[in-house]
Structure 1
Amino acid sequence: MSRRPTSKPLPTQPVNAAITSFAHDGRGVAHVNGKATFIHGALPGEEVDFVYTGIHRDYDEGRVDAVHMASPDRVEPHCAHYGICGGCSLQHLGPEAQVAAKQALLQDQLQRIGKVEPASLLPPLTCPVWGYRQKARLSVKYVAKKGRVLVGFRERASPLLAALDHCPVLHPDMGTRLLELGDVLIKLSVRDRVPQLEVAIGEAEGRALIIRLLAELTEEDREILRAYEPASGFTIYLQRQGPDSVQALSPEKAPPLFYSLPDHDLRFEFLPNDFTQVNFQINRLMVERVLALLDLQPSDKVLDLYCGLGNFTLPMARQAQHVTGVEGSKVSVERARHNALLNGGGNVEFHVADLATPQDKSPWAQSRYDKALLDPSRAGAFEILQYMKNWQPSRVVYVSCNPSTLARDAGYLVNELGYRLAAAGIMDMFPHTSHVESLAVFEK
């Protein structure tokens, strides 16, 4: 009778290593006995002892046990939960060094994957690094043995929920209320049937809390939540199934959430489960940079692909003759049209289209455009880029949340379509994490 092979035990003794570089996820990279090893908590230039956390055929993993020669960029983590909680991965690296590392990663990806290099680097866009996050999905777990409900993020090295009492990267209205939220949820009869919360903070007094439920609330549960609403300042929403099932606990008391772009006299209304940028401060800076890079003229016709609820479309319409926004989500397009009406945008139009599929028969795809903006998901925009040869925009700005797909698409724009990569840079949308938000401008 054959037996399944057993996993080889991990070495228990710390191993010394010199850290040579950063991995894309913020771990330090060493080569131990010729094998790449990714070490959590290590920084380039450091000498550390580490313990193995995983051994694989092509690479190994570990975590720092001791630092013998520290990088000058190493700092003491601000949060007491850092290292256990998986929400942040770079608090041990100074904020300026985090930005430099992300800029270097973008340059490396452009060169290595796209075989392109920007003519210039854009200054990074930065903001205060604490309390910046205005939207978040938080995991929830009822721990019967402890008689409490945990609210927060998963542990870095396990599927368990970290026991957090606060989170300094979240907006204070939610980051300081994790214990309070747990105390409310423990009172519910369905305390063990709440897997997740979603929090959205708007401007002014807008605060929304979505409670995802796997069972129906009792009337007593609803009364508990109704009593919490005025005390907390949150408008509570309930979600039993998919996104379309989200409903306000007290619809008559649910004010619209909004954020603004005051330089353009624009106000964007959104629902708590709509996609919006999580960092409103960086979003304002990002919009201004995109407009500057596009260099819009009063006669320009502009195409805004992956336009969402009109975050770029409407400010561009303030400067251009006409803007066409295209987005795959019907809900987002409905919100974009609402925001256009709200802001008096008569020179915009919006279309629903899956931009990963052929668009030869779409009327909007038959036109020519002077400028184009792309803001795709992590998958990038490769499928739609083939149409650039028909649209012939003189300038393309690409906003990216994944530098590897930006690099791939940049290679196509430059090497296949003849564009020039004029500039590229990063926006530190998510300080203390390895997430890299970037943008690039292409010219003909």
Structure 2
Amino acid sequence: MTEPTEKTSTLPPGWLDIESLDIEAKGIAHREDGKVVFVEGALPFEQVSASIHRRKNNWEAGTVTAIHRESSQRVRPQCPHFGLHPGACGGCKMQHLHPAAQVAVKQRVLEDNLWHLGKVKSETVARPIEGPAWGYRYRARLSVRHVLKKGTVLVGFHERSSRYVADIRECHVLPPHVNAMLLPLRALVGAMDAINTVPQIELACGDDVTALVLRHLEPLSEDDLARLRAFALEHGVQWWLQSKGPDTVKLLDADGAQLGYALPDFDIQMPFKPTDFTQVNPHINRVLVSKALRLLDAQKTERVIDWFCGLGNFTLPLATQAREVLGIEGSETLVARSRENYEKNNARLGTERALAATKFVARNLFEMTPEMLIADGSADKWLVDPPREGAFALAKALADLNQQRELRQGWTPPRRIVYVSCNPATLARDAGLLVALGGYRCVSAGVVNMFPHTAHVESMAVFELAE
């Protein structure tokens, strides 16, 4: 057996061989001494030159200055505001990479996180859930700035790695009708008396209604209110006004149509307010809910708990399948909304198709204990859909009950858990607890491309009780 030889570079001086991509869409290379170099704008299998702007003992960071060998997965960005140039929009990170390759990068990030952070290897890699690459962003927070030096109002996202608002005139991840409104919105704010006191417009699109929430720091004049009404009439939108915190949001004109979206696979209608949390991408959300419930496979004889239930996005579809459902959420406001949505859907469906008995509870899920789990009662199956912080307290309480079975008092753990995650790192941490201490196997894990062209990784994992 021959001794391994030290790797020597055949690249010209200053060139870098890009080996992979990190979650921020930066190319990763290694110098001959092993130092890692992160290169913005570079893709795997490319040979590049880079301008280094940050140096540490073990790594460097820079920006690509020349591409000597181009990746076959490199594509021309659809948006003229994407790139590394001064003033480039920071809303997307991966427009230069083919959408299919973006999904592959995210799948690798998920698998790497599960293994390196949680020491978990999924038994099966689930097929990615994908949808439209453009026009998918039905939720957005658009910053508004009156820039005297430019003599204009800017409406859009921030510049790359900057607090300044990018001078964008088009955005193709927004729905086409919203993209077409960007310049008219600039003109609208530019004509308002409140030109310097409206810092933000929040977008919320339903299936039939487009709502715009205008944050205003001072009361609006009658002339400005008239301008908003004229804009709404011309562009078919609904204005909401926000004078202070989220609880001050109100319709400009009270007879507006109801925002909402449908989950047609379950004949469920989901009304919501523009500041309620809903998924950014409704196309993917419909597929995600259907896939999650197929994997959970709730039966008419089973009790199911939906943790972090929000508006009832999963809870109400579950109520079409299970015997009994418990939805638990940290926000009192969302719990009240989920109860309303349950009642409205039950009344619409009638007695023949009535939803299962469903209860909603407001609770801080980041302070869960084994005693609280026991008090909630046994459930055959769980659906868990936490925010970016994950569900550590919940997973730990479940693991503690597995390690200290004398505490159970007749309580039994769920046989199956479907965990929907928007942060692979916290999913990996929680999966590590469930597998190492909770008595579960990770039978499946895969990515959900909820946010094409961004570095955001949504995923779904399935855990089965090992006993």
TM-score bracket for the superposition, by shorter chain length? over 0.9
Q: How far is 1:37 from its partner?
A: 2.2
Return the alpha-carbon distance in structure 2 between the equivalents of residues 339 and 236 of structure 1: 23
Task: Tell me the residue number matched to 2:308.
Answer: 306
Task: Tell me the residue number matched to 1:427.
Answer: 448
Compare 124-133 and 23-32 and name the one that shifted more: 23-32
Query: Any conservation in 1 of the 2:368–2:397 contact (CA below 8 Å)?
Result: no
When the two structures are superposed, what TM-score results if normalisation uses the length of structure 1?
0.93
Give 1:377-416 correspondences, 5 Å limit: 377-388=387-398, 389=401, 391-416=412-437
Task: Tell me the residue number matched to 1:29.
Answer: 28
Task: Tell me the residue number matched to 2:108.
Answer: 104
Query: Any conservation in 1 of the 2:47–2:70 contact (CA below 8 Å)?
Result: yes
The aligned amino acid for 1:220 is D
Query: Any conservation in 2 of the 1:77–1:92 contact (CA below 8 Å)?
Result: yes
Task: Tell me the residue number matched to 1:135.
Answer: 139
Percent identity (aligned)? 46
Return the alpha-carbon distance in structure 1 between the equivalents of residues 24 and 456 of structure 2: 8
The aligned amino acid for 2:434 is L
Q: How far is 1:17 from its partner?
A: 1.4
Aligned with 2:177 (options 173, 195, 201): 173
The aligned amino acid for 1:102 is K
Compare 358-367 and 223-232 and name the one that shifted more: 358-367
Query: Any conservation in 2 of the 1:260–1:268 contact (CA below 8 Å)?
Result: yes
Q: Is the alpha carbon distance of 1:15 and 1:332 closer, same or farther for their aligned partners in structure 2, counting shifts above 3 Å?
A: farther
3-state DSSP class of the match of 2:225? helix
Instruction: Compute the RMSD of aligned alpha carbons.
Output: 1.6
Task: Tell me the residue number matched to 1:4.
Answer: none
Task: Tell me the residue number matched to 1:352.
Answer: 362
Task: Tell me the residue number matched to 1:225.
Answer: 228
Return the alpha-carbon distance in structure 2 between the equivalents of residues 303 and 154 of structure 1: 39
3-state DSSP class of the match of 1:105? helix
Task: Tell me the residue number matched to 1:81.
Answer: 81
Query: Any conservation in 2 of the 1:15–1:51 contact (CA below 8 Å)?
Result: no
Question: Would you say 1:149 and 2:170 are equivalent positions?
Answer: no
Give 1:62-77 correspondences, 5 Å limit: 62-77=62-77
Q: How far is 1:158 from its partner?
A: 2.4
Return the alpha-carbon distance in structure 2 between the equivalents of residues 51 and 315 of structure 1: 52
1:304-348: CA deviations, max 9, x gaps?
Answer: 000000000011110100110000011111111111011103511
Return the alpha-carbon distance in structure 2 between the equivalents of residues 366 and 266 of structure 1: 26
Q: Is the alpha carbon distance of 1:103 and 1:153 closer, same or farther for their aligned partners in structure 2, counting shifts above 3 Å?
A: same
Aligned with 2:245 (options 242, 245, 261): 242
Give 1:268-283 correspondences, 5 Å limit: 268-283=270-285
Q: How far is 1:28 from its partner?
A: 0.9
Q: How far is 1:145 from its partner?
A: 2.5
Task: Count residues with an aligned counterpart.
Answer: 429
Q: Is the alpha carbon distance of 1:57 and 1:151 closer, same or farther for their aligned partners in structure 2, counting shifts above 3 Å?
A: farther
Query: Any conservation in 1 of the 2:171–2:179 contact (CA below 8 Å)?
Result: yes
1:176-219: CA deviations, max 9, x gaps?
Answer: 21111110011111211121110011112x01000111222112
Return the alpha-carbon distance in structure 2 between the equivalents of residues 197 and 55 of structure 1: 38
Query: Any conservation in 1 of the 2:369–2:393 contact (CA below 8 Å)?
Result: no
When the two structures are superposed, what TM-score results if normalisation uses the length of structure 2?
0.89
The aligned amino acid for 1:419 is Y
Query: Any conservation in 2 of the 1:359–1:365 contact (CA below 8 Å)?
Result: no
Return the alpha-carbon distance in structure 2 between the equivalents of residues 270 and 245 of structure 1: 16
Compare 116-125 and 153-162 and name the one that shifted more: 153-162
Return the alpha-carbon distance in structure 2 between the equivalents of residues 15 and 326 of structure 1: 56
Query: Any conservation in 2 of the 1:29–1:39 contact (CA below 8 Å)?
Result: yes
Compare 305-314 and 344-353 and name the one that shifted more: 344-353
Q: Is the alpha carbon distance of 1:323 and 1:91 closer, same or farther for their aligned partners in structure 2, counting shifts above 3 Å?
A: same
3-state DSSP class of the match of 1:180? helix
3-state DSSP class of the match of 1:104? helix
Give 1:197-236 correspondences, 5 Å limit: 197-204=201-208, 206-236=209-239
Task: Give 5+ residue unaligned stretches, structure 2.
Answer: 1-12, 347-354, 402-410
Query: Any conservation in 2 of the 1:86–1:156 contact (CA below 8 Å)?
Result: yes
Return the alpha-carbon distance in structure 2 between the equivalents of residues 357 and 116 of structure 1: 25
Query: Any conservation in 2 of the 1:54–1:61 contact (CA below 8 Å)?
Result: yes
Compare 186-195 and 357-366 and name the one that shifted more: 357-366
Query: Any conservation in 2 of the 1:85–1:154 contact (CA below 8 Å)?
Result: yes
Query: Any conservation in 2 of the 1:340–1:346 contact (CA below 8 Å)?
Result: no
Q: Is the alpha carbon distance of 1:55 and 1:238 closer, same or farther for their aligned partners in structure 2, counting shifts above 3 Å?
A: farther
Q: How far is 1:362 from its partner?
A: 5.1
Return the alpha-carbon distance in structure 2 between the equivalents of residues 362 and 421 of structure 1: 25
Return the alpha-carbon distance in structure 1 between the equivalents of residues 343 and 414 of structure 2: 27
Query: Any conservation in 1 of the 2:421–2:458 contact (CA below 8 Å)?
Result: yes
Return the alpha-carbon distance in structure 1 between the equivalents of residues 161 and 27 of structure 2: 16
Q: Is the alpha carbon distance of 1:364 and 1:147 closer, same or farther for their aligned partners in structure 2, counting shifts above 3 Å?
A: farther
Task: Tell me the residue number matched to 1:441.
Answer: 462
3-state DSSP class of the match of 2:366? coil
Q: How far is 1:263 from its partner?
A: 1.3
Return the alpha-carbon distance in structure 1 between the equivalents of residues 139 and 238 of structure 2: 14
The aligned amino acid for 1:418 is G
The aligned amino acid for 2:440 is Y
Q: How far is 1:157 from its partner?
A: 3.3
Return the alpha-carbon distance in structure 1 between the equivalents of residues 157 and 333 of structure 2: 28
Query: Any conservation in 1 of the 2:385–2:420 contact (CA below 8 Å)?
Result: yes
Q: Is the alpha carbon distance of 1:430 and 1:326 closer, same or farther for their aligned partners in structure 2, counting shifts above 3 Å?
A: same
1:376-406: CA deviations, max 9, x gaps?
Answer: 0111101112333355000001000000110
Question: Would you say 1:191 and 2:195 are equivalent positions?
Answer: yes
The aligned amino acid for 1:24 is I
Task: Give 5+ residue unaligned stretches, structure 1.
Answer: 1-13
Compare 38-47 and 411-420 and name the one that shifted more: 38-47
1:222-244: CA deviations, max 9, x gaps?
Answer: 11112111111111111111110
Q: Is the alpha carbon distance of 1:149 and 1:166 closer, same or farther for their aligned partners in structure 2, counting shifts above 3 Å?
A: same
Question: Would you say 1:367 and 2:367 are equivalent positions?
Answer: no
Q: Is the alpha carbon distance of 1:251 and 1:112 closer, same or farther for their aligned partners in structure 2, counting shifts above 3 Å?
A: same
The aligned amino acid for 1:166 is E
Query: Any conservation in 2 of the 1:360–1:366 contact (CA below 8 Å)?
Result: no
Compare 337-346 and 117-126 and name the one that shifted more: 337-346
1:96-147: CA deviations, max 9, x gaps?
Answer: 1111111111111111111010110110000110101111011111111332
